[in-house]
Every structure is written in C-alpha cells, then in structure tokens.
Amino acid sequence: MVRINQVGLGLVCLLMLSVMSPMVVAALEGLAVDGWTFSRRLGDVDIYRQPINGSRFPAVRAHARINASAKALYAVISDYEHFRDFIPSVLDSRVLARQMSTLSVYQRLGFPLMVADRHYVIQVTENLDQAGEGLLRVTWQLDRQQSLSLTSGSAVVPDAFSGSWRLAELEEGTATDATYSIHVEPGGRLPAWLLLSASERYVFQVIQAVRRRLRGDESGMGGEEYATKKSK
C-alpha cells in the first residue's frame, strides 16, 4: 500500500512540474517512481536517475514531449550513419550488420580535456509499432566481445553500455512522449560524481539535438520530410 501511494503521488507531482516554480521542483528531488528518482529539470526536460546493482554508476533518463510524430522521431534516432552530424560527442557511427530488427553498430565518442575517446560495438533491437498503437522502442546493449576485438591506439572500450528510446505517439501524431535512458560504465578512473553530472547533461543535450534535427536545423529539412526521405 505504501508503494502504491508513493507511485500515485509521484505521477501527480510529475504532471504538475510544468507549472511549478523552480523552488518546488527542487523540493521534489529524490522522489522515486518505478525505481527512477527525479533529479532535476533542464529546460522542459525532466532528468531521472536509477541505481544499478553492482555498478558505481547509476542509469540516467531524460523525459520530454517532442513536437513531431513517432515516425519522424524514429527516423532521426535510427539514422546511425549520420549520428556524428548532430549527436553530441559522436565522432563515428556505422552500421556493421543488420538482420531483421537487430543491428550491430560501431560508435566512437570523443571527450574534452584529458579523457580518452570511447569506442564500442552495440547490439541494437528495434521494436516497431506492430499493433498500430503508436509505440516504438529501441534498445541496445554493449557487445563486449566484439568491442574488445577493435583496434585503436588510444580509445577505450567501456565496461558496460546499455540504453533505450521509448516513443509514445500523442494527439494523433502531432507530438511524441519521448524517454531516452542510458547506463554507462566508462572504464578507466573517472569519478562517479563527475560521470553522473556529465550523463545528466548529456541526455538533455541529446534530446535537444534530436529536436534541432527534426526542425531541419542541420539537415535542411523538417522532421516529416526527413522521415519520408529516409524511408525511401
């Protein structure tokens, strides 16, 4: 009964965040819903964190409303070959293999200062809208064996990397409820507090980058036009 009440309170509070003052939002920090704890709001994006058993690093999540159809949004987040054009820190992104709804994707991320690049291969699974309910989900896991076979003088393979996109269409396709979640164990000696702060900022930046791409700020075309062109 206590957990049900906590979840109900959490949902009410989250619905009210858009009209609350920053002081009230700050007071809600630490409220847990379904294992995810509200951390902060960046612009109109809500940021959450969740502890992961056996890991020093929590998972982080960004949740936002995006003014585009789920189809248009999916076209952007699945355009792996062009991630380096608009996703922060991505230096390289290539599809190595594709079989039905499963892909192997290589990526390399670059970081400032003295932090070494990270590179890896992930196995991506795309669960598309088979029932016509406007719900799309993309998940990925580190392929550690294939990642460790990569050759690079300076780049580091992370110890763990997983994540997901969940896209739920709203208002007959004019908007999408988008949730972007990641968990990273970067390898090396990065302090946990530094990675947590950077990860929360990063998931916010990815949401904003996707929005810009949908508006056509980088591609020169709007979201629906981009989705149509990509599907051809």
> What confidence tens digit (pLDDT) does each residue in 101-112 have?
999 999 999 987
Distance CA 192, CA 58 (A): 9
pLDDT score of 133: 67
| CATH 3.30.530.20 given to domain 35-231 | yes
CA–CA dist 7, 74 (Å, integer): 29
Q: What is the pLDDT of residue 217?
A: 66
What pLDDT is stored for residue 218 in this prediction?
Answer: 52
The model's pTM is: 0.80
Domain ranges of the chain: 1-29, 35-231
- Give, in order, the Cα–Cα distances in Å from 128 to each of 71, 102, 134, 173: 10, 11, 9, 15
> Which tens digits make up the pLDDT trace of 128-161?
875 566 789 999 999 999 999 997 778 999 999 9
94-98, 102-106, 197-201: lowest mean pLDDT where?
197-201
